[in-house]
Structure 1
Amino acid sequence: KQTFESQSRIADIAYELPDLAMSFRSAPEVLSFVDTVFDTEVFAPDAPFTLTPPDAANLMRHTPFRRNEPGSVELWPLEPKSDVEPAEPWDAPKRMQTEISPKAKLANRIADFIRRELDTGAAVWDRKQKRPARPGDFLILVRGRTGGLFDGILQALKRRNIPVAGADRIQLLDSLPVQDLLNLVRFALCPEDDLTLAEILKGPFGGLDDDQLFAIANPREGRLWPAVQAARLPVTAFLEDVLVRRHHAPFEFLTHALERGHGLARPGWELILSRFGGPAREPVTALIDRAAAFDAGEAPSLQMFLDAVERRGGEVKRELSGPQDEVRVMTVHGAKGLEAPIVILPDSCAAHRSDRDGVFITEDGAPIWAGSKSGDVDLTTKLRAISEARALREHRRLLYVALTRAQDRLIVCGAFAGHPKSAGHADTSWYTVCQSAMTRLAETGRVEEIEDGERTIRRFGAAPDRVNPAMIPSAHATQLPAWLSTPAPVVTVNRVLSPSRLVQKSEPPVISPFGPGRAERLRRGSLIHLLFEVLP
């Protein structure tokens, strides 16, 4: 809008902002709360979103399309700090929180709340009718994945057996199923590596527990692999087959372990998914894609592939916008364009993130490195203030995105942060502006205070109705045809290898699209694509 405004002024053309006030997503109470949060009179003489005209871009007056579908907004009190902070062990895992830390307690409270809402049949709107909430109706938005809150929420949900989609972004090498597959590669290259073999035996392919592994490893003399061979475990035949295939291309090696798994009771895919669940599918698929790309451009060597993966790693972005009936925990940036009936904002106490590199751009487009704030002159002081104002407005725009993801219910909460004698939240934090908006709404008599144990929750809007959870239709497992689990016949083709063809870049011959049998081939392709569309 600012770009159109400035260009229209330069061209001396009449310009009017389009009216985009109608909201089809959120309930009236959610929109009223958003309008109150970003009331321009509260931010005067500044504007909530912009530094320059047009002023109309800062006016926030939504018109709800869902007038007859009420919702609610809740503001929870901050999770307080413990009086005694326990000493953390020197080897405590990174990004982990102690059980009595405010973030850990908040994560447990959110998980308990979701469990209670599911068990009591909290109602949400679905096509102008109410139905009981499901796990997929909950969306938890955080500002970042570090700091302990993100991982704490995931762990708290899993401990209560609540289906959760997992992280929306994961590092490839941090994924346990990926490490299980890479361990197969490591074992094929070096069967004398006892630690790798022990990890395979404890993983989904081996399925041993600590006592079973100890019974094999403790009395042995020498390496672990001869002891496993002597014990004739169910996984022994599979591991022997892994050693036989050590000279295969990475893609062929991994897909054989996942789809065939010679010697295993079930295919590798089933073992991995039964151990780690649906979130394991994306990182494993990313590793397979990496292996296919590696085979196409490099010599098909397991050693070179393992080295490339360990050196480069990589990030896997999981799509959490699908129809999976699981609680989604993701960043606000990743949630742009998404929506959910119940949205929870737990990461609300931090201040906006200022630009700390000290590099600013003048009006003439010249870059200036200002260094620390103590050495500022008039120009750098002005540039630093402009940069700070832009960061603050970006901070507010991100809050607007977070608030407007909610369809029916919005819950704002947080964990105490900062000095014990402080308010527990920064002056520019999301919690500060949401608390201010709830206070102004309370002055109009439209906010209800609810006693919940030793804390008081403020709610704007009516309490959600309760619907019998038995109304949720149960998903009956469909009997799959037998041919889906029947291995395809093995076709062996003798291939002449030469040093000049190790890279495998030769292309197969192309079939003419206008040759004989064209109609049959097109019909076959259409049927295959139709199967891809309708099969689960």
Structure 2
Amino acid sequence: MPVAGRDRLTLAEHPAVEDLVVLGRALLLPDDDLTLATALKTPLIDLDDDDLLHLAPGRKGSLRAAMQEAATGEPRYAAAEAKLVHWTREAGRCGPFRFFADLLGPGGGRNLALARLGAEAGDALDAFLNAALDHERRYGPSLAGFLQHIAGSAADVKRDLSASAGEVRVMTVHGSKGLEAKIVILADLGVEPGARRLPKILAVPTPSGDHLPLWPPASAEDVGATVAAKAAVVAQMVEEHHRLLYVAMTRAEDRLIVCGAQAKGEAPPGSWYAMIEQGLMLSEAGLIQLGEGDETVLRFMVSAPSSVEEPALPESEPAPSAMPPWLARRVVREAEPLPPLKPSSALTAADAEERPGDGPFLAEAAAAGRLAHLLLQVLPGVPESRRLTAAEALAQARGGALRPDRRASMVADALQLLAAPALAGLFAADALAEVPVAGSIRMPDGELRAVSGRIDRLAVTPDSVVVADFKTTARPPQKVDAVPLTTIAQLAAYAALMREIYPGRAVRALAIYTASLTCFELDAGRLDAALAALAGAAGTGSAEGALKP
């Protein structure tokens, strides 16, 4: 039975990420035999236990030396050694993001991981590349430092399973909000929360009306105030416990299966299982017991099952019918649905060509982009009278890599951009930043395509929607005609999605370049042309490559 995987992954614990980490360590420490042996068994090299038993026992030196010796007579070992030599050279020449992006993209590592671990590995690999890029920007290109960081990271990856079809989806109740399925299995008893699940710090009210943070004392040391504070927290947890049960039960379209394991053989009072059982028992239809012993099942039915009548046997065998012509015709293979359009992602950025002219100025442009992004994200929530002081403080604290005159210029440009009347709605207090969006859009050729991404800035009013995307480049365009087609296509997809979500409202699409804090508004003609090009590229599976001017 196909399984879509879990809706949440711990990045450092996913097998695809563990394979990349152990490979990186094997390249840094080639004489660590245990690490190298683990790396050899990953999908990237694909040796097995029989190969290790051939190489490791009885070797005179290191495992790497034994494989180099065996490579002279075995092509598979020679190919593995060639990969290790090439990867060692690339790891010393490139930063961790570029190294792993080349390994997973042009090197074919992503396809190898997906073939062994399934589609779930794709989300983990994307998050791994994002983490590599972020670490490189923050701390510089260090493979050893990044591997140490990712191995100790407790970051979770939230996967979008809404598009999974015909697969088992394993998720928390929180993650299932907004989703439905024909059959839902509630596999947890859902024990009612109590005093054992109290938070580490309690907010205890004082006679003056303030709240005092306290560690929850033991029951024997409770006083009236702490008893009341504990009771209030437990009441809130129980309310949330009941709300989540409602969410879980309403995910099922046709059938809800409630189960769970309990050491004493019966569900504790207040648990989800006990509440569902008690509630259905008290209903007019009640619960019907089917089966005996360990196979006992309680079933809720609003109508009695219909009896199955045995078909009457014919008196004589019917004459065989002629075989229909369509039975001998070859079935035409149906086209598989295209993957969701992701207007921007770390993997796409890794595979795309470098922007011309950015090379020697890329580091400064990236630092300026981060500062501009921060200013445009934080300053709209600051009162206008205090924006200059707040902007200068942010620039001083987060723009240390830039020259003082460049920081001052960026502060002035950011304030001017925020004060522009045409952008008042975009930078209003109720506008949204870093908005994740997902949905479906109708392409110019009539095909329905899924879209998922993250909008840098979004403003929604009763009659209009403004979408803005921040772009970091050392050489921003001077006029709207020079805006890259890939940027226009990205905003075209977002704009089309906003028209589906907010029908009847005018949609504006803005490209804001952080290096100069210039803003270009893209007209409907450019957006429609880019969306048409995006539809034409769908058949190739790579809109990014097809949209290069």
Q: 1:293/1:516 Cα in 2 relative to 1: closer, same or farther (>3 Å)?
A: closer
Q: Is the 8 A contact 1:361 1:368 kept in 2?
A: yes
Distance (whole Å) between structure 1 residues aligned to residue 222 and residue 32 of structure 2: 58
How is 1:183-262 mapped onto 2 (pairs within 5 angstroms)?
183-232=22-71, 233=77, 234-247=79-92, 248-261=94-107
2:301 is aligned with 1:455: no
Partner residue, 1:399 = 245
How is 1:74-153 mapped onto 2 (pairs within 5 angstroms)?
none
2:477 is aligned with 1:511: yes
SS in 2 for 1:236: helix
Task: Return the offset for 1:368.
Answer: 5.7
Identity %: 33
Q: 1:270/1:327 Cα in 2 relative to 1: closer, same or farther (>3 Å)?
A: same
Q: 1:413/1:358 Cα in 2 relative to 1: closer, same or farther (>3 Å)?
A: same
Mean Cα displacement is larger for which, 356-365 or 290-299?
A: 356-365
Letter in 2 for 1:434: I
Q: 1:308/1:388 Cα in 2 relative to 1: closer, same or farther (>3 Å)?
A: closer
- Spell out, residue by residue over 1:351-409, the C-alpha distance to the aligned partner (whole angstroms, 9 max, x if none): 32445246244383423635111122333333333333332222111111111111111
Distance (whole Å) between structure 2 residues aligned to residue 509 and residue 502 of structure 1: 11
SS in 1 for 2:27: helix
Partner residue, 1:296 = 137
The number of aligned residues is 350
Distance (whole Å) between structure 1 residues aligned to residue 279 and residue 536 of structure 2: 52
Distance (whole Å) between structure 2 residues aligned to residue 170 and residue 477 of structure 1: 30
Of 195, 202, 212, 1:367 maps to 212
Q: Is the 8 A contact 2:202 2:230 kept in 1?
A: no
Q: 1:341/1:519 Cα in 2 relative to 1: closer, same or farther (>3 Å)?
A: closer
Partner residue, 2:262 = 416
TM-score where L is the length of structure 2: 0.56
Q: 1:503/1:509 Cα in 2 relative to 1: closer, same or farther (>3 Å)?
A: closer
How is 1:290-369 mapped onto 2 (pairs within 5 angstroms)?
290-348=131-189, 350-354=191-195, 355-356=197-198, 357=200, 359-362=202-205, 364-367=209-212, 369=214
- Spell out, residue by residue over 1:489-516, the C-alpha distance to the aligned partner (whole angstroms, 9 max, x if none): 999x999989x97997585322333457
Partner residue, 1:388 = 234
Distance (whole Å) between structure 2 residues aligned to residue 200 and residue 238 of structure 1: 12
Task: Return the offset for 1:280.
Answer: 0.5
Q: Is the 8 A contact 1:450 1:459 kept in 2?
A: yes
Distance (whole Å) between structure 1 residues aligned to residue 159 and residue 270 of structure 2: 31
Q: 1:508/1:324 Cα in 2 relative to 1: closer, same or farther (>3 Å)?
A: farther
Distance (whole Å) between structure 2 residues aligned to residue 312 and residue 214 of structure 1: 34
Q: 1:199/1:494 Cα in 2 relative to 1: closer, same or farther (>3 Å)?
A: farther
SS in 1 for 2:479: coil
Task: Return the offset for 1:169.
Answer: 1.5
Letter in 1 for 2:224: D
Q: 1:455/1:309 Cα in 2 relative to 1: closer, same or farther (>3 Å)?
A: closer
Task: Return the offset for 1:215.
Answer: 0.3
How is 1:3-14 mapped onto 2 (pairs within 5 angstroms)?
none
Q: 1:229/1:332 Cα in 2 relative to 1: closer, same or farther (>3 Å)?
A: same
Letter in 2 for 1:173: A
Distance (whole Å) between structure 2 residues aligned to residue 296 and residue 358 of structure 1: 36
Q: 1:451/1:215 Cα in 2 relative to 1: closer, same or farther (>3 Å)?
A: same
Letter in 1 for 2:249: L
Distance (whole Å) between structure 1 residues aligned to residue 178 and residue 480 of structure 2: 44
Q: 1:393/1:502 Cα in 2 relative to 1: closer, same or farther (>3 Å)?
A: closer
Partner residue, 1:284 = 125
Task: Return the offset for 1:324.
Answer: 4.0
Letter in 1 for 2:84: L
Distance (whole Å) between structure 2 residues aligned to residue 428 and residue 479 of structure 1: 44
Task: Return the offset for 1:325.
Answer: 2.9
Task: Return the offset for 1:286.
Answer: 0.6
Q: 1:510/1:335 Cα in 2 relative to 1: closer, same or farther (>3 Å)?
A: same
Partner residue, 2:273 = 431
- Spell out, residue by residue over 1:177-234, the C-alpha distance to the aligned partner (whole angstroms, 9 max, x if none): 1111122322222222212211121110121221121101223211111222222213
Q: Is the 8 A contact 1:186 1:196 kept in 2?
A: yes
Q: 1:512/1:275 Cα in 2 relative to 1: closer, same or farther (>3 Å)?
A: same
Mean Cα displacement is larger for which, 270-279 or 305-314?
A: 305-314
Q: 1:525/1:220 Cα in 2 relative to 1: closer, same or farther (>3 Å)?
A: farther
- Spell out, residue by residue over 1:398-433, the C-alpha distance to the aligned partner (whole angstroms, 9 max, x if none): 11111111111111112123xx4xx63221111211
2:20 is aligned with 1:181: yes
SS in 1 for 2:247: helix
- Spell out, residue by residue over 1:415-464, the C-alpha distance to the aligned partner (whole angstroms, 9 max, x if none): 123xx4xx6322111121111122213xx355433226743222222589
Distance (whole Å) between structure 1 residues aligned to residue 535 and residue 231 of structure 2: 58
Task: Return the offset for 1:281.
Answer: 0.7
Q: 1:406/1:534 Cα in 2 relative to 1: closer, same or farther (>3 Å)?
A: farther
Distance (whole Å) between structure 1 residues aligned to residue 121 and residue 34 of structure 2: 23
2:109 is aligned with 1:268: yes
**When you count strand as a share of all residues, which structure comes out higher?**
2
Q: 1:475/1:182 Cα in 2 relative to 1: closer, same or farther (>3 Å)?
A: farther
Letter in 2 for 1:299: G
Q: 1:333/1:474 Cα in 2 relative to 1: closer, same or farther (>3 Å)?
A: farther
Partner residue, 1:171 = 10
- Spell out, residue by residue over 1:34-91, the C-alpha distance to the aligned partner (whole angstroms, 9 max, x if none): xxxxxxxxxxxxxxxxxxxxxxxxxxxxxxxxxxxxxxxxxxxxxxxxxxxxxxxxxx
Q: 1:532/1:330 Cα in 2 relative to 1: closer, same or farther (>3 Å)?
A: farther
Distance (whole Å) between structure 2 residues aligned to residue 341 and residue 285 of structure 1: 30
SS in 2 for 1:343: strand
Q: 1:241/1:368 Cα in 2 relative to 1: closer, same or farther (>3 Å)?
A: closer
- Spell out, residue by residue over 1:322-373, the C-alpha distance to the aligned partner (whole angstroms, 9 max, x if none): 2343111111122122211111112115232445246244383423635111
SS in 1 for 2:171: strand
Q: 1:453/1:517 Cα in 2 relative to 1: closer, same or farther (>3 Å)?
A: closer
TM-score where L is the length of structure 1: 0.57
Distance (whole Å) between structure 1 residues aligned to residue 34 and residue 305 of structure 2: 53
Partner residue, 2:320 = none
Letter in 1 for 2:205: T
